[in-house]
Amino acid sequence: MAKRGRIIDTVTNYPIEDVFAAAVAAQRTNECYVSNSTGINTPPNKMTNRHIMINVLNRTEDDDFNTCEADYTRAREIIDYYKSKTLDIMSGKANSYTMSAANAAYKEFVVSNDQLTLGLIASLPNAWERSIAYDKTWDRVDELKRKSIHFGSVGEKFEGKVEVLSCIYSKNWFKYYTTALTSAGNIVNFAGDHEFKQGNVVEITTAKIKQHAAENITRLHYVRTKVDNPA
């Protein structure tokens, strides 16, 4: 009986900028992030970002997927962004996803059989876009807090229109915590069952002042609302 030939696995070291640029190209191609777990919600005629990224990394001149200089420019921005999270990691402020992203950003190469790191990097362009938007929001909130002042007395009624700056769901309290800007330029915060979009103009039809909190925030409770521009 003839001996079977040995199967030799070939392993490639992808330069880190190539991997991030390929991930950016995948995000650009899909115009969104399509993961392996998207399942029945996968947009029609779209492959996962990871699949496209791997195709780009292993491309030939005839392949449909490729990178451009803009992809490399964005890739370097993403790498620098996650490298800049070192202080947050050291101070315990960063979550495990950000820690893994920073570790990936500091690599020089990614081995082609390192499926965990490749899958992570495929998701980073989308995560970076959301993080940049989040950072800009909180930069604005921080600036507004410096200009805000406490108003009213505890127990006093409040009503009026506010602009939603952020709305975060708490898994511990099963509530949405909304931070908003009043027409007078002051910051209010309140909890509720409704999720509001950033930029929504919400009319607080009735509320009471609960507390004058730190950072010039006035906390409200017994809040009832309606949204002027729900889109």
Over residues 17-63, the pLDDT tens digits come to 999 999 999 999 999 999 876 555 566 678 999 999 999 999 865 56
Please state the domain extents for the chain.
13-144, 157-227
Residue 174 in tokens: 């099963």
Instruction: Yes or no: say if 200 and 230 are a contact pair by the CB < 8 Å rule.
Output: yes
Query: What CATH architecture does domain 157-227 belong to?
Result: Beta Barrel (2.40)
Give the percent of the chain with pLDDT over 90: 77
Instruction: Yes or no: say if 226 and 198 are a contact pair by the CB < 8 Å rule.
Output: no
Is residue 14 pLDDT above 70, yes or no?
Answer: yes
Per-residue model confidence (pLDDT) at position 215: 95
Is residue 3 pLDDT above 50, yes or no?
Answer: no
**How does pLDDT run across 150-209, given as a tens digit for each residue?**
999 999 999 999 999 999 999 899 999 999 999 999 999 999 999 999 999 999 999 999
Q: Please report, for the chain, how many H helices and E strands are present, in that order.
A: 6, 7
Instruction: Count Cβ atoms within 10 A of the Cβ of residue 25 and give its class: 0-12 exposed, 13-18 middle, 19 or more buried.
Output: buried
Give the model's confidence band at 7: pLDDT under 50 very low, under 70 low, under 90 confident, else very high: very low
Per-residue model confidence (pLDDT) at position 1: 44
Is residue 229 pLDDT above 80, yes or no?
Answer: no
Is residue 6 pLDDT above 50, yes or no?
Answer: no
